[in-house]
Chain A
């Protein structure tokens, strides 16, 4: 299957700072990338969908000014959590889908964010 990497795997930051998470599709061109948040023992909560070269589409209730998403190329998308607060602590997972295969998503390994 396709490989998606995510970096960093774990990050601890202080309240008020910003954190950038990278998501890369290593062996295919990802037309669409998705960013999810997952709480313990809960399912994936879609935060936003990004298409290469376009502005991301955010789900209802997700602050686009707080969670900045950039999808500058067909292999890279970034999520920046701005002015992080302890309630932003969570497991963030990206996924990628190729052209015409948006129902078939390949997930990254996730990033554990802890805001102190």
Chain B
């Protein structure tokens, strides 16, 4: 079983839709949860990070962490064609040399 599972998609939605991206994980020691956006042939860009459980909102993006279910989500409201990219979840036990584990990434297409 992989430490982090993420559906690779592709996920195709119409412009303006609410997008839900998800990851599950197996290591209950994970404390830091991140979402990255990666455009084709570019490096990943940090979108949001959350410590422990709860929600975090930034503009059209909302990150949720449910540690009891070992499940994290990223919601994108009012999706735009420019949101078309691959979204990678990532998580880490903590600082001090702990490795960050990445999901495989979900490819998202937002159609105009």
Contact = CB atoms under 8 A, between A and B. Distances in A.
Given A43-B104, A103-B34, A105-B100, A91 B49 contact: no
A41 B8 CA distance: 8
A103 B95 contact: yes
Nearest to A100: B95
A107 B45 contact: yes
Is the contact region of chain B dominated by helix, strand, or loop, or is it mixed? Answer: loop
A27 to B, nearest CB: 14
Contacts of A1: 45-46
Interface in A49-95: 49, 91, 93, 95
Q: Which of the listed residues A32, A41, A43, A102 has the most CB atoms from chain B within 10 Å of its own CB?
A: A43
A7 B45 CA distance: 17
B102 A101 contact: no
A104 B34 contact: yes
A105 B46 contact: yes
B60 interface: no
Interface in A8-55: 32, 34, 41-44, 46, 49
Nearest to A108: B43
Contacts of B45: 1, 107
Interface in B40-69: 41-46, 49
B32 A43 contact: no
Identify the interface centre among B41, B49, B100, B103: most chain A CB within 10 Å of its CB: B100
A99 to B, nearest CB: 9
Contacts of B43: 4, 6, 93, 95, 107-110
Contacts of A102: 92, 95-98, 100
A96 B17 CA distance: 34
A103 B32 CA distance: 7
Nearest to B42: A109
A42 B104 CA distance: 6
B35 to A, nearest CB: 12
Given A44-B44, A93-B44, 11 more contacts: A1-B46, A4-B43, A6-B43, A41-B107, A95-B44, A102-B96, A102-B97, A103-B49, A103-B98, A106-B46, A110-B43
